[in-house]
């Protein structure tokens, strides 16, 4: 506050350097939000009207929202039912002469299967933009989220693993020219004050946010480690609980570092009833995400039909996140799993009642 440097400035620059180091990239560029990071990435690559960008239909709205905002058309590809990330095997069939980029999302804190995606990108000459908003510090085969594609996009929305005291976002890249371009685009496209070669947007990171984030970044790996421990403990408790209904814990691909932004279980037959039961017991749950993006009202013009992406649609019906955060205690985890186990009884008795009536 004393410095009166509220926007960008030395605090932001220091945070950018620390984030470049943390993500093992050459450059980091702060901006106002994760959504803006995605939009800036597309603008920097010249993506616009008439272009297509391939992404997942099972993600937070911002991923496809940024593509549509750039003027391009979101082209969806169904997900892998185990990881909930875009299925690389289906990507090539979606490429057309208008395709300008592939935008994989690292959902829930686990990297999309980047090796085949990078291979497709190299063969078809398409850049990859990583939506790493949920995956800061996660890894795929030893490579860090945000360092594998041409550009990585991060969010510091307060609920993210590294959350600010408000909105914030950041881009990473190893490309020096792209870095310069992004730094201009975030200040209305100007490279020197009041001289604009192109039209950008206003999307800058606040110094106060950078100051908060710099303090929290030091703790991030400890917090992510704690999340992993909670996830392992849930896995173990579910194994011991011997539930009478199907509940599948998260699948972790080999050679990845999953940072468990969310711990999401699949409950094929009783998801909504189990959620109600848990809410009654004071356990918070949430569905990420209940409506696949191709079914959103604003995307009806894309003319996707229901059934177009069966795995995304199934995941929207069957998955739910249960509490997972660094401060969660063993006792609380026990309570959550007991609450889920006790649903068996009420679930099967109502099933019996329904059967007899
Ligand atoms: C949070 C999030 C964003 C958007 O970030 P904001 O900072 O909220 O704008 C984009 N993509 C994904 C996958 C996210 O989870």
Topology of the domain comprising 221-356: 3.90.1150
**Considering only CA atoms, which residue is closest to atom 5 of ligand 1?**
34
Beta strands in 164-300 (DSSP E): 169-173, 190-192, 195-196, 256-257, 263-266
Three-class DSSP category at 164: coil
DSSP assigned state of 249: P
CA 68 to ligand 1 center in whole angstroms: 15
The pLDDT score that the predictor gives to residue 191 is 84
**Considering only CA atoms, which residue is closest to atom 7 of ligand 1?**
34
Atom of ligand 1 nearest to the CA of 66: 10
Atom of ligand 1 nearest to the CA of 156: 7
Nearest Cα neighbor of 144 from 224, 57, 90 is: 224
Q: List pLDDT tens digits, range 140-182.
A: 999 999 999 999 999 999 999 999 999 999 999 999 999 999 9
Tokens of 278: 């848990």
| Mean of all residue pLDDT scores within the chain | 95
Atom of ligand 1 nearest to the CA of 107: 13
The CA distances from residue 8 to 99, 123, 209, 210, 327, in Å, are 34, 38, 10, 8, 32
Q: How does strand 73-76 pair with strand 52-55?
A: parallel
pTM over the 0.75 mark: yes
Q: How confident is the model at residue 351 (pLDDT cuts 50, 70, 90)?
A: very low
Q: How confident is the model at residue 354 (pLDDT cuts 50, 70, 90)?
A: very low
CA 114 to ligand 1 center in whole angstroms: 20
Nearest Cα neighbor of 55 from 84, 92, 86, 99 is: 86
How large is the average pLDDT for residues 54-69? 98
CA 191 to ligand 1 center in whole angstroms: 27
CA distance 356 to 50: 59
CA distance 129 to 97: 18
The pLDDT score that the predictor gives to residue 194 is 87
CA 22 to ligand 1 center in whole angstroms: 19
CA 61 to ligand 1 center in whole angstroms: 8
Q: How confident is the model at residue 203 (pLDDT cuts 50, 70, 90)?
A: very high
Atom of ligand 1 nearest to the CA of 169: 7
User: What does the domain layout of the chain look like in residue ranges?
Assistant: 9-217, 221-356
Q: How confident is the model at residue 352 (pLDDT cuts 50, 70, 90)?
A: very low
How large is the average pLDDT for residues 257-266? 98
Contact call for residues 108 and 250 (beta carbons, < 8 A): yes
Tokens of 189: 């496209």
Pocket residues: Cβ below 6 A from ligand 1: 33-35, 59-60, 62-63, 105, 131, 133-134, 155, 157, 167, 169
Any idea which of 37-51, 191-205, 338-352 has the lowest mean pLDDT? 338-352
> Is the confidence at residue 357, as pLDDT, over 50?
no
Residue with tokens 């291979």: 119
Tokens of 177: 């020219």
Contacts of 353 (CB under 8 A, 6+ apart): none
Which of 57, 61, 62, 86 to mutate for ligand 1's pocket (most ligand atoms within 8 Å of CB)? 62
Q: How confident is the model at residue 346 (pLDDT cuts 50, 70, 90)?
A: low
> Is the confidence at residue 229, as pLDDT, over 70?
yes
How large is the average pLDDT for residues 320-337? 98
Which of 85, 132, 134, 260 to mutate for ligand 1's pocket (most ligand atoms within 8 Å of CB)? 134
Three-class DSSP category at 319: strand
CA 60 to ligand 1 center in whole angstroms: 6
CA 280 to ligand 1 center in whole angstroms: 29
CA 67 to ligand 1 center in whole angstroms: 13
**Considering only CA atoms, which residue is closest to atom 2 of ligand 1?**
133
Topology of the domain comprising 9-217: 3.40.640
CA distance 59 to 53: 15
Q: List pLDDT tens digits, range 207-224.
A: 999 999 999 999 999 999
């Amino acid at each position: 506050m004393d410095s009166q440097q509220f926007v960008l400035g030395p605090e932001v620059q220091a945070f950018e350097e620390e984030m470049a180091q943390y993500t093992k990239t050459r450059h980091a560029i702060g901006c106002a939000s994760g959504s803006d990071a995605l939009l800036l990435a597309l603008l920097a690559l010249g993506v616009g009207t008439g272009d297509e960008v391939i992404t997942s239909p099972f993600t937070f709205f911002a991923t496809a929202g940024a593509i549509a905002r750039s003027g391009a058309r979101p082209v969806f590809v169904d997900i892998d039912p185990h990881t909930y990330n875009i299925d690389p095997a289906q990507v090539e069939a979606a490429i057309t002469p208008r395709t300008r980029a592939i935008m994989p999302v690292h959902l829930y804190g686990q990297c999309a299967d980047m090796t085949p995606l990078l291979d497709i990108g190299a063969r078809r000459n398409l850049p990859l933009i990583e939506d790493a908003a949920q995956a800061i510090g996660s890894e795929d085969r030893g490579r860090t989220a945000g360092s594998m594609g041409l550009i990585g996009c991060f969010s510091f929305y307060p609920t993210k693993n590294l959350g600010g005291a408000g909105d914030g976002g950041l881009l990473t890249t190893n490309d020096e020219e792209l870095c310069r371009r992004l730094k201009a685009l975030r200040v209305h496209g100007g490279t020197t004050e009041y001289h604009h070669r192109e039209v950008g947007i206003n999307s800058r990171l606040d110094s106060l946010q950078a100051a908060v984030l710099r303090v929290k970044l030091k703790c991030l790996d400890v917090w992510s480690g704690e999340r992993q421990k909670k996830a392992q403990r849930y896995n173990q408790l579910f194994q011991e609980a011997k539930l009478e209904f199907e509940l599948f814990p998260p699948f972790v691909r080999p050679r990845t570092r999953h940072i468990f932004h969310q711990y999401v279980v699949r409950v094929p037959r009783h998801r909504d009833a189990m959620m109600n039961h848990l809410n009654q017991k004071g356990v918070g749950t949430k569905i990420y995400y209940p409506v696949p993006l191709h079914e959103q009202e604003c995307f009806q013009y894309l003319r996707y039909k229901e059934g177009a992406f069966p795995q995304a649609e199934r995941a929207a019906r069957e998955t739910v996140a249960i509490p997972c955060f660094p401060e969660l205690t063993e006792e609380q985890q026990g309570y959550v799993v007991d609450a889920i186990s006790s649903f068996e009884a009420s679930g099967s008795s109502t099933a019996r009642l329904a059967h007899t009536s």
